[in-house]
Amino acid sequence: MINNTHHHPDENMLIEFSAGTLETAASICVSAHLHFCSRCREKLLRLDQVGSQIMSQANPIEVADNAFDQVMEKIDSTDLSSTVEKSTAAATTAKNTIDEGFPFSVNKLINTSLISKNWKRLSSSVDVARFKTGQDNYEVALHKICAGGKTPKHDHRGTEYTVVLKGSFSDENAVYREGDFLIREPGDVHQPMGSQNGECICLSALSAPIVPTSPLGFLMKPWLRINPM
């Protein structure tokens, strides 16, 4: 795959991702970006190598002789049947939404965590499909902007991560294409617009509702709350 991404997670995010300390919603977005970006995959590989070198030089700690048996016992005693059933049911209902070009991690989310297989309308140009990701800090969702569709001009009250999965969109600053990773912080005002040549689908994680900056903000009622789950 040719690396066409121009917007990447910063070094600190990759370090935290490598160490396994990055929060869930941000990790989902970073892993989606890695599918598209060989540059960040190479960086991550180097960070993982450094991490394992540090681990190998650390002093070993004592574990009980039967530690391995205890872990295996715990796995054996966990009833996974209901989880498997639920995943299979979700996979059947969500089949239509899976996209071959999407990262594996996103298709897995669609299979197991999509709340409804139907897109919900946010405005005449934007639809949303939300995920249940087992954390309560971020609403994680897919957003679909129709070709040439405009989203309302808005500010952010919290952090927003976005990864373009399909198509492209632009705002006042740049054009964002497949794989691009963006972070918006409070005070970043912008108005995303779908490109004219086709729909754009983005993965996003939002920690607080957006703030409309137009006098017609009251039309944005569906945008004004988020639902982390």
Backbone angles phi, psi at 142, to 5 degrees: -95, 140
Q: Is 8 in the site for Zn ion (CB under 5 A)?
A: yes
Q: How far is the CB of 46 from Zn ion (least distance, A)?
A: 13
* Separation CA 171–CA 35 (nearest Å): 24
Q: Is 182 in the site for Zn ion (CB under 5 A)?
A: no
Closest to Zn ion by CB, 43 or 190: 43
With contact defined as beta carbons under 8 Å apart, do 145 and 200 qualify? yes
* Separation CA 44–CA 17 (nearest Å): 8
Q: Please work out the total of residues on this chain that contact Zn ion, with binding judged by CB under 5 A.
A: 4
Span from 1-9, 56-64, 127-135, 210-218 in contact with Zn ion (CB under 5 A): 1-9
Of residues 13, 37, 110, 206, which one binds Zn ion by CB under 5 A? 37
* Separation CA 181–CA 16 (nearest Å): 16
Closest to Zn ion by CB, 30 or 201: 30
CB count within 10 Å of CB 70 equals 11
Closest to Zn ion by CB, 5 or 113: 5
* Separation CA 115–CA 134 (nearest Å): 12
Of residues 26, 32, 40, 110, which one binds Zn ion by CB under 5 A? 40
Per CB under 5 A, residues contacting Zn ion are 8, 37, 39-40
